[in-house]
Amino acid sequence: MSFSIVNVVRNASRALPVSMRSMQLTKPLTRSLWYMSNSTNQLFPTKFSSSFNHTPLGPSCPCGTCRGVHTRGDKELIEFLSEEIAAEKKSKSSKVINNLDGFDVKHNGSEIVLSKKFNDEQVEITVNVNHSVDADLQEGDLNTKADNPPPAEMKSRPQFEVKLVKGNHVTRFACSFIQDVGEPVEDAPNDIFTIDELAIYEGKHNEQTYAVAGDILDGYMYDLLMNLLEERGVSNEFVEKLSDLATKREHDLFINLLEQLQSFVQGK
């Protein structure tokens, strides 16, 4: 990811874990943009003031009488978004992936659905990339005051659902990434994901469907369930690739969001 000046605030913000993003790194930027566009702010005159300098940025304007944006805040935001979009497009190049280790891949907005046949079963994996991005960097390693902070790769590690379908019968696993794998332990499985919940039902899952938490299952039974998933292709290696797929999709959607916001502010 580019570390240009225009990206300093966002890079610092997105380099923090999700739980920390609402802290002080993001608030000054949000408040500064609001302050510049607030009509009560006397530092920046409004369009009704004789000192207001309306700078046209494009041929279209919703009011029909001018040929540009309405406020200085609009102009500042559009200029920022233009540079941010260009930097984001340079940082990564991604292509649409239609198959991942034998799973057919379909995208629907923020949702990714992967499916394949396994003997007489249909294996379906559903992922939603919303609110799934953290930096691939431990909190203790993050030093925002350092002159040359280490670059943190943005990774999407979403919760995901695995369904094994036989006719009308469904075995459903709710899974998530282990955020802190820790040091490897000898003779212990080094899984990067965990089974959070297990449910078995007919038809559709609903609020009345019984489910059991993975952490209260018998340890040996839990290991057998992990083996069952691995035999169907849901292994540690596959789940790591699933994270890469989700990361690419989230990045594409983020760029699209920036472009939509820019078009909205421009009045296109």
Do residue 150 and residue 233 come from a single domain?
yes
Cα–Cα distance for residue pair 18/159, rounded to 1 Å:
14
Is there a domain that residue 259 lies in?
A: no
Last residue of a domain, one of 91, 109, 133: 91
Pairwise pLDDT comparison (248 vs 49), residue with the higher score: 248
Do residue 118 and residue 230 come from a single domain?
yes
Is there a domain that residue 25 lies in?
A: yes
Do residue 31 and residue 143 come from a single domain?
no
Could you read off the pLDDT of 52-88 as tens digits, one per residue? 444 454 454 544 444 455 688 999 999 999 999 999 9
State the residue range of the domain holding 42.
Answer: 5-91
Q: What is the pTM of this model?
A: 0.70
Count of structural domains, the chain: 2
Residue 91 has pLDDT above 90, yes or no: no
**Of 63-67, 85-89, 165-169, 213-217, which range is least confident?**
63-67
Is there a domain that residue 258 lies in?
A: no
Is residue 201 within 8 A of residue 209, CB to CB? The reply is yes
Is there a domain that residue 194 lies in?
A: yes
Cα–Cα distance for residue pair 250/210, rounded to 1 Å:
32
CATH of the domain at 193: 3.10.280.10
Is there a domain that residue 198 lies in?
A: yes
